[in-house]
Amino acid sequence: MKDNKRVILMVLDSVGIGEMPDAAEYGDEGSNTLKAASTSPYFSMPNMRKLGYFNIDGVDIGEKEANPLGSFARMTEVSKGKDTTIGHWEIAGIISPTPLPTYPEGFPQEVLDEFSKRTGRDVLCNLPYSGTDVIRDYGEEHMKTGKLIVYTSADSVFQIAAHEDIVPIEKLYEYCQIARDLLQGEHGVGRVIARPFTGEPGNFTRTSRRHDYSLQPPKTTMLDVLSEKGYDVWSVGKIIDIFAEKGITEYVRTASNEEGINQTISLMKKNFNGLMFVNLVDYDMLYGHRNDVDGYAKALTYFDTRLPEILAELREDDILMITADHGCDPITPSTDHSREYTPLLMVGKPIEAGVNYGTRKSFADIAATILNYFGITRENTADFPAGETLIKF
- Which domains are delineated in the chain? 6-98+216-373 (3.40.720.10), 109-213 (3.30.70.1250)
Dist. CA 230–CA 222, nearest whole Å: 12
Closest CA relative to residue 85, chosen from 217, 208, 199, 181: 217
pLDDT at residue 1, rounded to an integer: 45
In which residue ranges of the chain is pLDDT below 50?
1-2
B/e letters for 216-237, b = 16+ CB within 10 Å, e = fewer, are ebeebbbbbbbbeeebbbbbbb
Which pLDDT tens digit goes with each residue over 225-242? 999 999 999 999 999 999
pLDDT at residue 392, rounded to an integer: 85
Dist. CA 335–CA 150, nearest whole Å: 19
Contact in structure between 83 and 156 (CB atoms under 8 Å) = yes
Q: What is the dihedral of CA 31, 284, 161, 85, to 10 degrees?
A: 80
Q: Identify residue 129 by its one-letter amino acid code.
A: Y
pLDDT at residue 3, rounded to an integer: 57
pLDDT at residue 197, rounded to an integer: 98
